[in-house]
Structure 1
Amino acid sequence: MRKIFSTLLVLLSLSTSAFAATITDGDIHKGDYKWFQFNIMQSIDNKIPFQNQQDTYFEMEFGGRSGIVDLYGYLDVFDVFDSSKSDRHDGDNFFFKFSPRFSLDYMTGSDLSFGPVQELYIATLFNVGDRDLFEQYIGIGSDIQVPWLGKLGANLMARHVRENYDAGDEGTWNGYILTTNWFKPFVNFENQTFITWQGYLDYKFGADKIADDVDRTNWSLEWFNGIYWHSKRYAVGYGLKYYQNMALFKSGGIAGETSGFGHYLAVTYKF
């Protein structure tokens, strides 16, 4: 066991040393990259408030790195086939998530890594809904090297509410969010395709300014686990998502069932 632990420490130190080299040679753009893809998604029994469970929607997803900026985001366009069978039919049209992070290592010109933590960021997040939803977050972020899993993104941010479906916390700072995300190829084929375990966990907590509303709660959880097959241009996958008090609505109240499991099917084209 001691030998295994020592080996892990060596691997972690090598990974942080390799990162340190990229910020001490003066070229912060050496590791720049970008990606962009279109997804057709089918949601089944998901726990979006007000019975928005079944829908076929279009998703434009993107991300990358440019100097100090690490970026992820997506735009969902609901009921993309204009189907009367969709729970989103004649309802909300879109949801937008935008999450730029700004490297403290690159801005300070210093290697701030320690142990398994490879890099530190000022983390931000924006959640924007079609009608009456606009959340802003800011805090601290990191990339953490985890044995076997690889790089795990983790962020802890404070929540500011501009719009929240007329909840009592609009216009205030109310609560926090802890987010994680990962992308782990675990099966590789000779034709350069591979299978991944990818997902995220978002935990909101401490939203006490709406605790007196019997239909709302001060915490929520979303945990997505996807198994995807990837080629250079395409991906196909299935995701199982666990919800608890989705969007800070208590399950069984005016918003309907907001806790439990939902399912997602995805077909992707990569640019």
Structure 2
Amino acid sequence: MRKSLLTLGLLAATSAPVLAADYTDGDIHKNDYKWMQFNLMGAFNEKGAGPESSHDYLEMEFGGRSGVFDLYGYVDVFNLLSNPSSDKDGQEKMFMKFAPRVSLDALTHKDLSFGPVQELYVATLMEWGGNSGVNTQKIGLGSDVNVPWLGKIGLNFYGTYDSNSKDWNGYQVSTNWFKPFFFFENGSFISYQGYIDYQFGMEDKQSYQASNGGAMFNGIYWHSEHYAVGYGLKLYHNVYGFEDGQALPWAPVADSSGIGHYVSVTYKF
């Protein structure tokens, strides 16, 4: 079974209460779906482990559900035309993020829901930024939670392993949401969608490292069956644990806090 983002949006916006996943009948594939889309992106005043950057990139974004597995991920390719004047010229060409989760409800064939929590997972998150970029693996407990107005959100808690330093370092809380809130007669709609990734408890072993940091993305998007257009405002605070304003071994300064802007045009498969 395949559900488009338009269908998922309509389901998320229904007035009926969101029900907990029920796999007690042993049918772990009854909620299966998949989606994939390409996003042509423009980033402006993006923050990170170096000076702020404005650049283009192409993102292949995908997700879905198959039995016990729930998946979200994307692959970003920067500076598509290899423009020598781009902020990304000479930098890492790609960034990848994969976030597979294993449903404990489906795995055990039990209803583990309680209160607003509808499903529990073993949650993982893998980020690869190339040889000199962010390279972390995270594992912990995930959940789907029903909250007022937004409906079902993902809420995950991880411990973080840093592959660059070969060490466990800190924790991360992540949440994401997709809320259609205005519908047109032709079936298209406008959504509020985004996420929060917040890291804490990190060891600040170097002068440029912070013990906490994160980002919040707030997007307003128009969706049809095959297209989407949107704008996102992203709030940064010591993102990836780099202390804002500190000199770095590989860059003059870490511009890791502030506001970034994103525009995108999407085609959905």
Q: Do they superpose with TM above 0.5?
A: yes
Deviates more, 1:48-57 or 1:174-183: 48-57
Q: How does 1:220-239 map to 2 (within 5 A)?
A: 220-239=213-232
RMSD: 1.4
| Alignment deviations for residues 77-115 of structure 1 (CA, whole Å, 9 cap, x no partner) | 010122233210121101000000000001111100000
| Alignment deviations for residues 239-267 of structure 1 (CA, whole Å, 9 cap, x no partner) | 00000011211111123321000000000
d(CA) in 1 for partners of 2:104, 2:225 = 32
Unaligned runs of 5+ in 2: 1-14, 248-252
The answer (yes or no) to whether the contact 1:16–1:116 under 8 Å persists in 2 is no
Match of 1:256, SS state, is coil
Which amino acid is 1:215 matched to?
Answer: Y
Q: What is aligned with 2:241?
A: 248
d(CA) in 2 for partners of 1:147, 1:112 = 21
Q: How does 1:24-63 map to 2 (within 5 A)?
A: 24-63=24-63
Q: What is aligned with 1:78?
A: 78
Q: What is aligned with 2:180?
A: 185
Q: How does 1:204-215 map to 2 (within 5 A)?
A: 204-208=199-203, 211-215=204-208
d(CA) in 1 for partners of 2:87, 2:112 = 47
The answer (yes or no) to whether the contact 2:75–2:94 under 8 Å persists in 1 is yes
The answer (yes or no) to whether the contact 2:18–2:152 under 8 Å persists in 1 is no
TM-score (norm 2): 0.89
| Alignment deviations for residues 193-225 of structure 1 (CA, whole Å, 9 cap, x no partner) | 0000000000001012xx231111111110000
Give the direction of change, closer, same or farther, for the CA distance of 1:52–1:78 in structure 2 (3 Å limit). farther
Match of 1:81, SS state, is coil
d(CA) in 2 for partners of 1:110, 1:142 = 15
Q: What is aligned with 1:16?
A: 19
Deviates more, 1:80-89 or 1:194-203: 80-89
**Identical residues among aligned pairs (%):** 51
Deviation at 1:53, TM superposition (A): 1.1
Q: What is aligned with 2:258?
A: 260
- Structure with the bigger percentage of helix: 1
d(CA) in 2 for partners of 1:86, 1:248 = 25
| Alignment deviations for residues 157-181 of structure 1 (CA, whole Å, 9 cap, x no partner) | 0001111xxxxxx111110000000
The structure whose RCO (Cα within 8 Å, separation 6+) is larger is 2
The answer (yes or no) to whether the contact 2:183–2:189 under 8 Å persists in 1 is yes
d(CA) in 1 for partners of 2:147, 2:154 = 10
Q: What is aligned with 2:161?
A: 160
d(CA) in 2 for partners of 1:46, 1:222 = 11
- Could you list the structure 1 runs, at least 4 aligned residues long, displaced by more than 3 angstroms after superposition: 14-17
Match of 2:106, SS state, is helix
Deviation at 1:134, TM superposition (A): 1.7
d(CA) in 1 for partners of 2:18, 2:220 = 26
Match of 2:205, SS state, is coil
Deviation at 1:52, TM superposition (A): 4.6
Aligned pairs, number? 249
Which amino acid is 2:119 matched to?
Answer: E
Which amino acid is 1:205 matched to?
Answer: F
